[in-house]
Amino acid sequence: MLKELHILGIYLPPILLYLLLAALPWLLIRWLLTITRAYRLIWHPPLFNTALYILLLAATYYIITLDPRPAPVAIFVNLLRNLFT
């Protein structure tokens, strides 16, 4: 989990980084849907765009905060960390 981002003396929440990283594939997918005219098949494009962005934001958060250790090892390490802090 990221802590605050320190940029030019201003502390920013880490969700700002997640929002910006999720915006890049979102814009690319919207562009592809526009040039292929796939929006003709979507009933409510603004609702679809919002849902797509939320899904990409959740995936970005999951990928960034993913623990590379196997689950049993991560649980054991977190248990030890909680016991000794």
In a domain, 69, yes or no: yes
Checking phi first, is residue 67 left (phi over 0); if not, alpha (psi -120 to 50) or beta? beta
Is-contact 42 53, C-beta < 8 A? no
Tokens, residue 10 = 């201003």
> Which pLDDT score, from 0 to 100, does residue 84 have?
75
In a domain, 28, yes or no: yes
In a domain, 24, yes or no: yes
Q: Look at the chain and report how many structural domains it folds into.
A: 1
Query: Which residues constitute the domain of residue 37?
Result: 13-83
CA separation for the pair 68, 40 (Å, rounded): 41
Tens of pLDDT along the chain (85 residues) come to: 567 777 788 888 888 889 999 999 999 999 999 999 999 999 999 999 999 999 999 999 888 887 666 667 777 777 778 887 6
In a domain, 7, yes or no: no
> Which pLDDT score, from 0 to 100, does residue 19 have?
94
